[in-house]
Amino acid sequence: MPSRESQTHPQRIEVAGPTALGDAVAATRRYAAEQGLGDRDQARLCIVVEELITNLCEHGVGDVDCEIALEFRREPSAVGLVIEDNGVSFDPRTASAPAAVPTRGGGAGISLVKSWSEIVAYETIEGRNRLELNLKLDRE
């Protein structure tokens, strides 16, 4: 079983096109398992990635043209996550939660991201967004 304190070097994956969301969630699930994260932490990390990439594909660039890189970094009490994409600029630090969309159940994603993670930084560089988060881990 992997050590919870090991492997702090970053792991980067790139996903693109119509399978980007599924590929990103699958890669996140593999990373969380490799790092020995507990079930709750694995689920929260996957949900944060899924929410951010779903919003990107729906509102930022479209799922056909999306190009996304995820970088995970394991720290003793957190998982660092960097998401880089080619979507429209969107800073979740200043975004208010949208009104709920009852027919889809939507509107809660940005609130989940903000409550489960610390948004460390956001910037746009040469047409690409870079969002850095830290997801605090439970101590089991």
Question: Could you tell me the CATH number of the domain that includes residue 19?
Answer: 3.30.565.10
Q: Are 138 and 38 contacting, i.e. CB atoms less than 8 angstroms apart?
A: yes
* CA distance linking residue 75 with residue 7, whole number of Å: 8
Alpha-carbon dihedral angle through residues 2, 31, 132, 47, given to the nearest 10 degrees: -120
Q: What global pTM score does this model have?
A: 0.83
The tens digit of pLDDT for each residue in 95-140 reads: 765 555 555 556 678 888 889 999 999 999 998 999 999 999 986 5
Structural domain boundaries, residue 66: 11-136
Q: Is residue 78 situated within a structural domain?
A: yes
Q: Is residue 112 situated within a structural domain?
A: yes
Q: Is residue 5 situated within a structural domain?
A: no
Res 112: pLDDT:
85
Res 31: pLDDT:
96
Res 62: pLDDT:
60
State which H helix or E strand residue 16 sits in. strand 11-16
Q: Is residue 1 situated within a structural domain?
A: no
Q: Is residue 4 situated within a structural domain?
A: no
Q: How many domains does the chain fold into? A: 1
The tens digit of pLDDT for each residue in 47-85 reads: 999 999 988 887 766 656 789 999 999 999 999 999 999
Rg (CA), the chain: 15
Q: Is residue 60 situated within a structural domain?
A: yes
Q: Is residue 6 situated within a structural domain?
A: no
Res 93: pLDDT:
85
Res 55: pLDDT:
84
Q: Is residue 57 situated within a structural domain?
A: yes
Res 108: pLDDT:
73
The tens digit of pLDDT for each residue in 2-25 reads: 444 445 679 999 999 889 999 999
